[in-house]
Structure 1
Amino acid sequence: MDDRTFRSAMGKFATGVTVITTLLDDEAHGMTANAFMSVSLNPKLVLISVGEKARMLDKINETGTFAVNILSEDQKEFSMYFAGQIKEKRDFEFDWVSEIPVIKDALANIVCKIHSKQIAGDHTLFIGEVTDLVIRDGAPLTFFEGKYGKIVNAEQ
């Protein structure tokens, strides 16, 4: 199968949208990712997947820490910016949890230290041990077939 067919098949899986953040040299860095999952309750572990060409790869390797910010339905601009879809420079004001920059008003800010990592094809899988978190009410930003969306609650 070709790459386009594979990507199309993977796009059939609806996901939430996250921005991965870290702090390096007193500067906040972010990267949009929808490759995120919970791994374990005891210990509390999550997994993110970072491409070998992503600038964030070296930053996470160097800092050993990252935060997963689960975006709300009103935070599409954050996703687009940190995915490189918005080219002009934006100055976002971050919140801070355990000295890690996090996206303000995200549904969840999950702060992690690297527990382990595994190179898998053209990505590195980081398993993070959750060291702190903040949660908020709201509805998630979604991603399906290459498009952003929102969850619509249908009355039963």
Structure 2
Amino acid sequence: MPQGIDPIAFRNACGAFATGVTIITTRLADRDHGMTANAFMSISLDPPLIAVSIAKTAKMLALIEGSGRFAVSVLASGTEDIAMHFAGRPNPDIGAPLRDLDGLPVARRASAVFATHVDKAVDAGDHVIFLGRVSALETSADAQPLTFHRGRFGKLHEETPPLLDPAWMLEGNHW
């Protein structure tokens, strides 16, 4: 960290940005592995690429490197139990929170799920950013997202109509 930038202050400042909550999963040697994360983003429409950021100290790093694949489940509102389960607070009453998509485990209760093959790994300080080429996806139009802001889970307060027609973005109309 550059001199003068306090790591705790930096983390708290980044926490001011509201995000969705995801479960990043992989399958290695016929075992499913998962972790809760909010460092996820779309990268490209053509080819379809997404990115996740994994700490170099996380067990998930070696698992994704070993499998060459990962999945992302964008959690829906009301799935705090799943988020906490994969954040290192196992809940024996959670049942079977995962199902299969294209050979990878994904959350049963998600607003969107993506299965990928690792396209590239980028060293980024104390993290590695994995770019994943999407091989399969599913969405739930009715699901509202689980959100995370300043260390707390939340949800959208009301449903509002979309501001932009998605076709507008596909036509090359970008900000």
Please confirm whether the aligned pair reaches a TM-score higher than 0.5, indicating the same fold. Answer: yes
Which structure would you say has the larger RCO, counting Cα contacts within 8 Å and 6 or more residues apart?
1
Identity of aligned residues (%): 41
Pairing of 1:24-43 with structure 2 (within 5 A)? 24-43=28-47
Match of residue 145, structure 1, among 146, 150, 153: 150
Amino acid at match of 1:144: H
For residue 110 of structure 2, give the secondary structure of its aligned residue in structure 1.
coil
Amino acid at match of 1:115: D
Report deviation, 1:92.
Answer: 2.5
In the TM superposition, what whole-angstrom CA distance separates every residue of 1:33-80 from its partner, at most 9, and x where no partner exists? 100000000000000000011110000000000100000001111111
Q: Number of residue pairs matched? A: 154
Ranges of 4+ aligned residues in structure 1 off by more than 6 Å: none
For residue 143 of structure 1, give the secondary structure of its aligned residue in structure 2.
strand
With the length of structure 2 as denominator, give the TM-score of the two structures: 0.84
Contact 2:112 2:138 in 1 (8 A): yes
CA distance in 2, matches of 1:114, 1:61: 8
CA distance in 1, matches of 2:12, 2:110: 28
In the TM superposition, what whole-angstrom CA distance separates every residue of 1:65-117 from its partner, at most 9, and x where no partner exists? 01000000011111111111x24556524211111111102111100000001
Q: Name stretches of at least 5 consecutive residues in structure 1 with no aligned partner.
A: none
With the length of structure 1 as denominator, give the TM-score of the two structures: 0.94
For residue 42 of structure 1, give the secondary structure of its aligned residue in structure 2.
coil
Contact 1:64 1:113 in 2 (8 A): yes
Pair member with larger Rg: 2
In structure 1, what is the equivalent of residue 131 of structure 2? 127
Contact 1:108 1:133 in 2 (8 A): yes
Q: Quick check: 1:112 aligned with 2:116?
A: yes
Contact 1:105 1:136 in 2 (8 A): no
Amino acid at match of 2:153: Y
